Each structure stands twice: as structure tokens, then as C-alpha cells.
Chains A and B, each alone.
Chain A
Amino acid sequence: MTQVVNFPSTEDSVSRTAALWVAKMDSGELDAEEQRALNEWIALDPTHKTELIRLAKLWDKMSDIGQREAGRESLSNETPIKNTKRGRFREFALKTAACLAIALAIPTAVYVQERSSALSTNGHFLTEVGQQRNLELADGSEVFLNTNTVIDVDYTLDRRVINLLKGEANFDVAPDKTRPFVVKVKNGDVQALGTSFSVRVANDQVNVLVSHGTVRVNASDNAPDASSQSTDPAIKTRTSVVVGAGKQVIFNEKAVDSVTQQDEVSLAQKLYWKKGFLAFDDENLSSVVEEVSRYTKYNIVIADPDIRTLRVGGFYPIDNLETVFTSLEMNLGLRVKKVGENAYYIMKSS
């Protein structure tokens, strides 16, 4: 805790050391020993104290300005009206916009109490295996994180950027023409021109599913944004496509692999996870197991190769995947055996 004391006290590092003390004080209360160290450092040279005070004041000033900035953002970005009373006054507020401009000229606090700002939901968000989570971001956009997912929200004043580092997420984008909404994934990105889409990254592939509106998919950041017309059969050579609702785009690190049209049923089925369910419609047991495995830390093994292609259907709650096993046993006559702490084996019953 007290390394700060050990910084060399040469001319150059006086302000660095002072800045470190300021940071330390901003981080929390100093304990007795740290206070003593601080006073020792101050006693070494009169410039230490001056520098410390100067930087402390600067930091306070920067805090003020930061808060004002946060307040200004929350004013200019008109958060959704929370109650009708605010609505009633909205017209009045507009009329007084001119007055506000004058009030701004008095450069006093136009920041309001709420700390909420356009950037207030920046940061890392994650879900554990089997967990799902809905986030509402500062601009009103909603992100639904599926199992085992990590995103990094990085909003700025002119862009809304989300890095999908792992897993799967669905994005319901609040319209804001001035600030594009971009999901960065692998080498590429998905830019919302409209409203709702989900992105899943697995192995080297990224799978984008558009449920409403339009998105632009760039497989690679580096490639020039040459062509962007949708549903062209020659799509395989493309690095960028613009697609509408019902389309599924799969891309890898270099180019767009495929663009397919999904009918309503399959689209809904692919997005059932948002409702907390897994839905299978006559799929291979092996792909069902693969999908189920995303939601559990258990290792699920198909012990008999010849049952891999058994067809499985059904509708299972994500928070109770044992029902999958029950269903396999009841409907397909298979046997599911727990092996050790962490594995389930699926095998023929006899």
C-alpha cells in the first residue's frame, strides 16, 4: 500500500509523486501510515507541498468539470420521459430553451442532480455459463446477454460502440441518427441502421440474425467498404452487406460466408433464448447437445456414436436443462447417466 513513498524524489518526479498522492486520496482515505509518509514527503522540500496543493486543486476542478460535462450530456440527450409530470412541462421547457441559452451564459451549474449521462453505462458486462441478463443502456437501447457472454460498452458522444468479446447478445437499438450503433465482433462489425438484431460469436464464425430493421455487416474492418448491396448470389466474395429483417448473415474473419432468408418460424426459434428457452425442431442429437452445452458447465457426452443423428425436438427452459435429459429418456428411450461431478453421458438404454 505504501509504495508511493518509495518513488525517487528527483526534480522531475515531484509532480508525478504529487499526482500519485492526489490519486491515492481520491481513491480512499489514507491510513495512519500513509498520512505519515505523506507528511514526510512534504517535509523534504517546500516545493512538494505547493505542487501537491496545486494538483489537488486542479483535480477538484477537473471533477467539477467532469460532472458538469456528464450533466450536460444528460440534458442534451433527452432521456425518455419518466413520468407524465415531466411531459406536462416539456412544452414549457422548450419555450424556455431560449432562456436556458442565456442561463448557460452564466456559466454556473447547468448540471442536474442525476449523475446519469450518455456514457454512464460504459464498461464491461458479462454472464456466466447458464446465466442470462438484460441491460438497459444509457441511450435506452437494450442488450440481452445470452449464456457465457462478455461485452464492452464504449459509448462516446458521437458513436455507440459495443464490443462483443464472447458469446451471444441481442440488441434492441434506440434510434439516434446522430450516433451510429456499432457492434464490433472479431475483425468485423455490425452497424444498426434500424432496430433489433442478435450477434453470436463462436469459434471463428460470427452469426448475425436480424429481426427488425436493417443492419450493415462488415466482415473485416480493413477491407474497403466497396459493395454493400444485399442478397446477391455473388455474396461470398463480399466483405460487407446490408440486410433487412429475417436475414441471417454468417461471416468469418475475412469475408461474408452466407446470407440466408429465415422464415418467421425459424427466426422465432433462433431467438427463443431471449425468452429463456431453447427450442429444437427436429435436429440432430449432436447439435442439440452442442447447443445445450453452451448453457451448462457440465460436460455432455454422447457415448454411442450411432445415436448422434437421432432427431430431437422440443422446448426447454434454459434455467432447468435437466428437462432435456428427462425428455431424452422419456421420448427417445435413451439413458442419461451422471458420471463423476461434471459429466453426463447419453447412451442407449440397454
Chain B
Amino acid sequence: MQDESLDKKSIFSVFTEYKSSLARVVKRYLRKESDVDDILQEAFLQTYAADRSTPIQLPKVYLFKTTKNLAVRENSKISTKLTEYIEDSADSVLISDDKDAFELLSEQQEQKLLLEAIALLPEQCQRVTKLRLINGVRIKDIAVMLNISVSTAEKHIAKGLERCDEYVRQALTTAIQQQDNVDNKQKQSN
């Protein structure tokens, strides 16, 4: 307890001190090894940000918890699961960092865009999507809550995903066109 002020001094120092044990935590939970560093970095950033909003009493505990949660979360990612399911996953597609549309956007922009897209979904589809994404309710539980079958809930999720995809691509196309127009005007004025 006497070192509370020390702890407060720097999340970073705690992080550096325990980095290797944190990495072991990640490896224990994570099914693939490639992303260990990413997760450690994310864990640090989250802890750091959380500490600024409400100072964390036990940074070490918080860091370990965050790290573990992130690793578990990484496993639950669909793109992670996909690598396991696809038989010839050795080929490049999954590993390659092909630019998805979002690379063009800032994080706030993409967040705004997706929330807009979700808000435009039909009522029941929107309800299911929000319960899943924002409230973190599992699809099976959503089915029970809304008294629909699991497969119906899955279809709502699929529809929501597809619509959001369309919306974002549409918005990006428009944005790119506008950018092009601006560029052209600049060229002309030059």
C-alpha cells in the first residue's frame, strides 16, 4: 500500500516491468501466436486511457485483467475463428493485410458511420444487432429474450451485417467521389 503513489506514477513502468508475464498470459489464452504484441499494446492503451478517466487503484491487476480479456476476445473474433475453420488457411488471403474500406477513415468516422448504418436497420433486425453488438448478449440468449428461433436471430444478424456493409461502402464511394471532385477542381485551378 505504501507504494500507491508509485503505482500512480506510471502505468507504463508497471507495463514494462510485467511485459513478459503479460505476454505469457496472452499466449496461454490466444490460439494463434501472431498477435501477441498487438494485444499487449492494446492492453496498455486501454489501461492508460481508463486510468486517465478514473485513476486505477491496482494498475498491475487491471493490466492483467485487460490483457486476458483482450486475448479471450481475440479468440472470439470471427476472423480468428475463420482461420481455424478454413481448411487451406495456409494460403495468403487471411494473412494478407488487404486494405478494408475502413482504412480510409479515422476511428471516429468509422464509428459514426456504423452507428448510422445500425440506426437505419429495420426494427427487429436493429434490435437484435444492438443487443449483440452494444449489449454483448449472445445470439442464443437474444433468441430466448425475443422469443424467436436461433436461426431467425442469426438471419437478423446476417441481414444487419450485410446492410451495414452496403451502407458503409455507399458512403465511402460518395466520399471518394467528393474527394476526386475536390482534387479535379484543384487541378483545374492550377
Residues of A within 8 A of B (CB): 3, 15-16, 19-20, 22-30, 35, 38-39, 42, 49-50, 52-63, 65-70, 75, 85-86, 89, 92-93, 96, 99-100, 103, 106-113, 115, 117, 119-120, 122-124
Contacts and interface: CB of A to CB of B under 8 A. Distances in A.
B81 interface: yes
* Contact residues on B (Cβ < 8 Å of other chain), bracket: 35 or more
B1 interface: no
B25 to A, nearest CB: 15
B158 interface: yes
Given A15-B165, A93-B53, A30 B135 contact: no
A120 B107 CA distance: 24
Contacts of B82: 25, 52-53, 56
Given A22-B158, A39-B87, A107-B108, A119 B78 contact: no
B161 A19 contact: yes
Interface string B140-158: 1000011100110111011
B106 to A, nearest CB: 7
A229 B17 CA distance: 67
8 contacts: A15-B162, A15-B165, A38-B85, A96-B52, A106-B49, A108-B45, A123-B137, A124-B147
B52 A26 contact: no
Contacts of A62: 114, 133, 161, 164
Contacts of B137: 123
A42 B88 CA distance: 10
Nearest to B145: A123
Given A49-B93, A65-B111, A113-B65, A108 B155 contact: no
A25 B102 contact: no
Most-contacted residue by chain A among B137, B151, B159 (CB, 10 A): B151
Contacts of B158: 16, 19-20, 22-23
Contact of A23 (B54, B57, B139): B139
B147 to A, nearest CB: 8
Contacts of B146: 124
Given A23-B154, A35-B85, A124-B146, A61 B110 contact: yes
Contact of B53 (A22, A29, A96, A119): A96
A66 B139 contact: no
A55 B161 contact: yes
B130 interface: yes
B110 A65 contact: yes
Contact of A27 (B77, B114, B139, B145): B139
Interface of B: 42, 45-46, 49-50, 52-55, 57, 62, 65-66, 69, 77-79, 81-82, 85-87, 93-94, 100, 102, 106-108, 110-111, 114-115, 130-140, 145-147, 150-151, 153-155, 157-159, 161-162, 164-165, 168
A15 B158 CA distance: 9
Nearest to A69: B134
B106 A107 contact: yes
A122 B95 CA distance: 38
A45 to B, nearest CB: 13
Contacts of A22: 78, 157-158, 161
Given A3-B151, A42-B86, A109 B46 contact: yes
Contacts of B100: 54, 57-58, 61
Contacts of A26: 78, 132, 139, 157
Contact of A119 (B46, B134, B139, B147): B134
Contact of A99 (B52, B114, B159): B52
B148 to A, nearest CB: 11
A66 B119 CA distance: 12
Contact of B134 (A52, A109, A117): A117
Contacts of A96: 52-53
A271 B117 CA distance: 45
A3 B150 CA distance: 13
B139 A53 contact: no
B135 A122 contact: yes
Nearest to B139: A27
Given A23-B154, A65-B133, A108 B46 contact: yes
